[in-house]
Amino acid sequence: MDDLILHEDPRSGNCYKIRLTAALLGLPLERKEYDILTGETRTPGFLANVNSNGRIPVLQIGDRLLPESNAACFYLGEGTELIPGDCFERADMLRWMFFEQYNHEPNIATLRFWLAYIGEAHLTDQQRAQIPAKRIAGQDALALMDRHLSGRAWFVGEACTLADISLYAYTHVAEAGGLRLRDHRYVCAWLDRVAALPGYVPMD
Amino acid sequence: MDDLILHEDPRSGNCYKIRLTAALLGLPLERKEYDILTGETRTPGFLANVNSNGRIPVLQIGDRLLPESNAACFYLGEGTELIPGDCFERADMLRWMFFEQYNHEPNIATLRFWLAYIGEAHLTDQQRAQIPAKRIAGQDALALMDRHLSGRAWFVGEACTLADISLYAYTHVAEAGGLRLRDHRYVCAWLDRVAALPGYVPMD
């Protein structure tokens, strides 16, 4: 495999997904850090040379660049046990990864970013006005995950897949955004299960 | 293949993605319609039997249910020319599909839904306050697509993939949400290219 370089901010759960996937698979990953709070991913150089969307993570594979955290995890997971061999289960894994980016991350990760990194006092009025709705949507996402996990150990099939890694990243730090994890006991048990995987690495 | 039933609202671009994928592949698809405006996807029956997330589309494959439009397209596209055989290109296709759900759909599709279906007069104050930001983010998404398409015919590789189908669905009706397509000439040429594909079906 070509050399792998992760362009990242270590505080980002989206970047952590890729580090965790690589760690579980024993793949070496060079890390190149940017500070999103000081705009290091919006500079002309970053936009021209790394990602025109101004976002991290970007996984660099040799000289090719791959933005979008879940796409990067899919690339690393190809041909491994982290992606199911069954066609329906593979699509069902992607179903949870799209759920993560649509229903989970924009609420749970955004609340954490706003409250734990920007700080409530520095939010715009429009951001502050969105907090109650994001809190409800975040709790709804956790509740849906909890119901799904009530009868099973992993999101898809009988073992850990990229769906679990993708959802784990921002779920395990959801309380930094003011959400309550202890209301969701199956989610809590599943978080422990992920953290016990051989090769697991914590978020920085 | 098992019988395929699409649980959908025909006005939804997310549902149309699946219909267009099936049509391009010549796959028969039974359609079961719900009206999202009257809450038909939030009934106890729908939540218990179709999708606990209260959303369409859901692709039913025999007795198995698959929510999330892009995951359903991936299921239908497995083993066909709509998914690249190359590992990097396959991940790059998913990269654009995740971009679609994160940067494109929440702005471009939401503006269309709010303005063309709910109507500006019936929006909440909080929804109305988000229109300017969603308009800027939607134009940014279209501009990024335009730059990418300036030197190429399709989003990934040399032929139409699921990335094109996914992005086509809400792009070709973006003007219903007040966005300007004619500012993006490479996008316009690409829309024509998709509409000329053998087997293409229009949105209802």
> Any idea what the CATH number is for the domain that residue B39 is in?
3.40.30.10
Render the burial of B2-25: b for 16+ CB within 10 Å, e for the rest: eebbbbbbebbbbbbbbbbbbbbe
| Gap between the Cα atoms of B16 and B8, Å rounded | 9
Among B20, B27, B21, B26, residue whose Cα is nearest residue B4: B27
Residues A188, A92 within the same domain = yes
Are A21 and A82 in contact by the 8 Å Cβ rule? The answer is yes
- Which of A51, A77, A103 corresponds to the end of one domain? A77
Interface of B with A (CB under 8 A): 52-53, 61, 64, 66-72, 74-75, 78, 87-88, 90-92, 94-95, 97-99, 101-103, 105-106, 126, 129-130, 133, 144, 147-148
Residue A174 lies in a domain: yes
Query: For helices A125-149 and A162-171, what crossing angle results, to 10°?
Result: 130
Same structural domain, A183 and A120: yes
CA distance A117 to A133: 20
What is chain A's percent helix, strand, coil content, to nearest 5?
55, 10, 35
Q: Look at residue B48 in the predicted model and tell me its pLDDT.
A: 94
Q: Are residues A72 and A118 in the same domain?
A: no
Q: Are residues B171 and B92 in the same domain?
A: yes
Which residue, among B10, B106, B98, B6, has the nearest Cα to B51 in the 3D structure? Answer: B6
For residues A11 and A34, state if they share a domain.
yes
**How close A123 comes to chain B (CA, Å)?**
15
Q: Which two tokens stand for residue A179?
A: 């959400």
Band the pLDDT of B204: cuts 50, 70, 90. Answer: confident
Measuring CA to CA, how many Å separate B82 from each of B58, B114, B161? 20, 32, 4
pLDDT mean values, one per 10 residues, chain A (204 residues)? 94 98 98 96 95 96 98 98 98 98 98 97 93 97 98 97 98 97 97 98 94
Omega before B57 within 30 of 0, i.e. cis: yes
The DSSP code for A194 is H
Spatial distance between the Cα atoms of A118 and B41, rounded to a whole number of angstroms: 36
* pLDDT band with cut points at 50, 70 and 90 for residue B132: very high
CATH number of the domain where residue A109 is located: 1.20.1050.10
Which band of pLDDT confidence, cut at 50, 70 and 90, is reported for residue B69?
Answer: very high
Does one domain contain both B120 and B184? yes
Alpha-carbon B194 to chain mean position: 13
Last residue in a domain, options A22, A52, A77: A77
Residue B75 has its nearest CB partner, among A72, A91, A97, at A91
Residue A108 lies in a domain: yes
Residue B204 resides in a domain: no
Q: How many angstroms separate the CA atoms of B33 and B19, rounded?
A: 13
Please identify, among B57, B77, B97, the residue that sits at the C-terminal boundary of a domain: B77
Query: Does residue B102 share a domain with residue B69?
Result: no
CA distances to A134, A169, B29 from B1, in Å: 40, 35, 11
When the pLDDT of each residue in chain B is averaged and rounded to a whole number, the result is: 97
The size of the A-B interface in CB pairs under 8 A is 101
Same domain, A57 and A109: no
Interatomic CA distance for residues A166 and B27, integer angstroms: 31
**Structurally, how many domains does chain A consist of?**
2
Is residue B203 one of the residues assigned to a domain? no
Is the residue at A138 inside a domain? yes
- The pair of structure tokens assigned to B78 is 């497995």
ipTM above 0.95, yes or no: yes
Does residue A203 form part of some domain? no
What's at A83, amino acid-wise? I
* Pick from B64, B94, B144: CB nearest A52: B144
Task: Please give the Cα distance from A21 to A74 (Å, whole number).
Answer: 9
Alpha-carbon gap: A10 to the closest alpha carbon of chain B (Å): 21
Q: Check whether residue A55 and residue A143 sit in a common domain.
A: no
Q: Tell me the pLDDT tens digit for each residue of B153-201.
A: 999 999 999 999 999 999 999 999 999 999 999 999 999 999 999 999 9
Domain shared by B34 and B72, yes or no: yes
Does the structure show a pLDDT above 90 at B112? yes
Range of the domain at A65: 4-77
At A18 the pLDDT is 98
Collapse the DSSP code of A43 into the 3-class scheme (helix H, G, I; strand E, B; otherwise coil) and give the result.
Answer: coil
Q: Classify residue A82: in a domain, yes or no.
A: no
Q: How high is the pLDDT of residue A153?
A: 98
- Whether B82 is covered by a domain: the verdict is no
**Verdict on whether the full-model pTM lies above 0.90:** yes
Residues B168 and B68 in one domain: no
Tokens in use for B95? 């990269």
Min Cα–Cα distance to chain A from B130, Å: 8
Residue B136: which residues within 8 A CB-CB, separation 6 or more? none
* Shortest CA gap A111–chain B (Å): 16
**Per the CB < 8 Å rule, is A102 touching B101?**
yes
Q: Are residues B111 and B187 in the same domain?
A: yes
A89: nearest CA in chain B?
B75
Which residue, A62, A57, A63, A58, is CA-closest to A1? A62
The residues, any chain, with a CB within 8 Å of residue B133's CB and separated by 6 or more, are A126
Q: What's the mean pLDDT in B101-127?
A: 96
